[in-house]
Amino acid sequence: MYRGGISRGGPESRLPDPHLVDWTAMILRWFHLVTGAAWIGASFYFVWLNNHVRPVDSGDPTRGLAGEVFAIHGGAFYRVSKFGGAPEQLPNVLHWFKWEAYLTWVTGMLLLGVTYWMDARSMMVDPAVRDLSPSTAVGVGAGSLVLGYVVYDVLCRAMSRQPLALAALGAALFTGASYALFALLGARAATMHLGAMIGTIMAANVLFVIIPGQRAMVDAMVAGREPPLERGKAGALRSFHNNYFTLPALFVMVSNHYPVIWSHRYAWLLVVGICVLGGLIRHGFNLAGVGRPRPFVPSIAGAAGLVVLAVVTRAPTPEAATATVNVTAVQQVIAARCLSCHSQTPTQAGFVAPPKGLALDDRATIEANRAKIGAQVSNGAMPLGNLTAMTDDERQLVVNWAAGG
Ligand code: HEC
């Protein structure tokens, strides 16, 4: 069903066709997931390869090999060799792994643009946080991505010999960035831009350091010079960082669907905390790869940390309402504050169907979704960006009703 949804000539008429916006976002998200899976899959595979190459048998005639791996997959046997340095001769076809990284970033940025920047008024600005103009909010979001990489890059170059200090300083700065974004943007947009910041650093590492380093090594070999190993080393450090960024980046991307995370009072800290735990979980797999004893202790600690966070962030159950809440009053509040979006026929520009299929037009549906409504209204996630200016009293009324009044 397509209803238009644009009030032509009205103040919202600059918004593009919401039907096409939804389709564009869907296709971009799909593409983004596929390229992201290819990128992270290749990254995990090469980490695994590196960790599993074993010295070749002494009788092996091939020269310069550091080790090899035998594997079986999809009904075929594979033998993959790793060179200690550079091979004596370059093969005719050398495979590079970069397009999955670039396309993940490009589709991610387009998706960020379509879902957040183009609809900054409702998706990025939260007047209760700070009443930015939509274009300022977009500037803050985009600026955070550029600044994030520039600061990270400067630190990496200056502190490449102090990896632990670099990690500690990086975590502290990331926490500061999170605090700043949550102080300026709506919580959901702040969270998504933190994820985009990690993703941007990862993709920029590939574009500006890893691939140029490899290119320099190959060029030197072709020219018959000694390959510049320090370029390879700089790339290896960035690859190493990217490896730790994978789990945090994926967490932030999916957390977008969970207001329980980003609408928490201390969401700026919670998001950073979960990212650190994600890095810890990944660390266990890296230790296992190099054959350390009891490698999964950090992973188990990370998983336990998640359970602890789930428990300590639990809000106290609202006091049971003393008086029975008048359902008609609740329905009136919902009609005033929610129906512009959550209706079979939404009037809010940008919506052609009720979000998440939740249409609160009739009392039976409202009753049936009592718990969901209570959760979203009490944690402040709904009304979205409080576009419909719900008052605190109305919010309390709905929460009391949901709590069983
Ligand atoms: C400006 C539009 C808008 C308004 C107004 C609005 N919502 Fe929403 N609502 C959304 C969007 C968009 C989503 C989907 C968010 C997502 O993708 O996670 C949503 C999701 C929800 C969900 C989650 C549904 C699910 O199945 O996960 C609930 C519950 C909800 N809204 C309740 C409300 C209530 C109650 C109000 C009024 C107090 C309200 N909303 C006002 C846009 C709106």
Residues 34 and 65 grouped into a single domain = no
Cβ of 377 closer than 6 Å to ligand 1, yes or no, is yes
Cβ of 395 closer than 6 Å to ligand 1, yes or no, is no
* Residues 185 and 137: beta-carbon distance below 8 Å: yes
Phi, then psi, of 240 in degrees rounded to 5: -60, -45
Read off the pLDDT of residues 304-345 as tens digits, 9 standing for 90 and up.
Answer: 999 999 999 887 665 555 567 788 889 999 999 999 999 998
DSSP state of 126: B
Residues 107 and 212 grouped into a single domain = yes
The whole-angstrom separation of Cα 121 and Cα 112 is: 14
Whole-number Å distance, alpha carbon 321 to ligand 1 midpoint, is 24
Nearest atom within ligand 1 for CA of residue 338: 37
Q: Is residue 295 part of a domain?
A: no
Q: Is residue 269 part of a domain?
A: no
Phi/psi zone of residue 4: left (φ > 0), alpha (ψ -120 to 50 degrees), beta?
left
Q: How many domains does the chain have?
A: 3
Cβ of 388 closer than 6 Å to ligand 1, yes or no, is yes
Whole-number Å distance, alpha carbon 115 to ligand 1 midpoint, is 15
Substitution candidate for ligand 1 out of 254, 333, 366, 382 with most atoms within 8 A of CB: 382
pTM of the model: 0.79
Contacts (Cβ under 8 Å, ≥6 apart) of 228: 213, 216, 217, 220
Long-range pairs, 347-350, Cβ under 8 A, ≥24: 348/5, 348/387, 349/5, 349/6, 349/7, 349/12, 349/15, 349/18, 350/5, 350/12, 350/15, 350/18, 350/21, 350/119, 350/122
**Of the residues 222, 257, 292, which one is the last residue of a structural domain?**
257
**Of the residues 197, 227, 257, which one is the last residue of a structural domain?**
257
Q: Is residue 273 part of a domain?
A: no
Residues 336 and 242 grouped into a single domain = no
Which run of H or E residues covers position 362? Answer: none
Contacts (Cβ under 8 Å, ≥6 apart) of 139: none
Residues 78 and 150 grouped into a single domain = no
Cβ of 355 closer than 6 Å to ligand 1, yes or no, is yes
Domain range holding 392? 327-402
Residues 58 and 31 grouped into a single domain = no
Substitution candidate for ligand 1 out of 334, 342, 398 with most atoms within 8 A of CB: 342
Q: Shortest CA distance to 187 belongs to which of 275, 262, 265? A: 262
C-beta atoms surrounding 192 within 10 Å? 26
Q: Is residue 347 part of a domain?
A: yes
Residues 159 and 69 grouped into a single domain = no
Residues 200 and 75 grouped into a single domain = no
DSSP line for 24-63: HHHHHHHHHHHHHHHHHHHHHHHHHHHHH-BPPPTT---S
Residues 117 and 70 grouped into a single domain = no
The whole-angstrom separation of Cα 184 and Cα 229 is: 43
At residue 62, the pLDDT reads 60
Phi, then psi, of 76 in degrees rounded to 5: -135, 155
Q: Is residue 301 part of a domain?
A: no
Per-residue pLDDT of the chain (405 residues; tens, 9 = 90+): 233 333 333 344 456 788 888 899 999 999 999 999 999 999 999 888 888 888 876 555 566 788 889 999 999 999 998 887 778 788 888 899 999 999 999 999 999 999 999 989 889 998 888 999 999 999 999 999 999 999 999 999 999 889 899 999 999 999 999 999 999 999 999 999 999 999 999 999 999 999 999 999 889 888 888 888 888 888 988 998 999 999 999 999 999 888 889 988 899 999 999 999 999 999 998 888 888 889 899 999 999 999 999 999 887 665 555 567 788 889 999 999 999 999 998 988 888 889 888 999 998 889 888 888 988 898 788 998 788 889 989 999 998 888 875
Helices marked H in 124-228: 134-158, 163-184, 187-204, 211-222
Q: Is residue 272 part of a domain?
A: no
Q: Is residue 349 part of a domain?
A: yes
Residues 71 and 161 grouped into a single domain = no
* Residues 105 and 96: beta-carbon distance below 8 Å: no
Q: Shortest CA distance to 42 belongs to which of 91, 104, 89, 84? A: 104
Whole-number Å distance, alpha carbon 342 to ligand 1 midpoint, is 7
Q: Is residue 13 part of a domain?
A: no
At residue 15, the pLDDT reads 64
Q: Which residue has the tokens 């549906």?
A: 365
Q: Which residue has the tokens 């054959």?
A: 291
Residues 249 and 336 grouped into a single domain = no
Residues 150 and 58 grouped into a single domain = no
Residues 30 and 170 grouped into a single domain = yes
**Of the residues 214, 231, 257, which one is the last residue of a structural domain?**
257
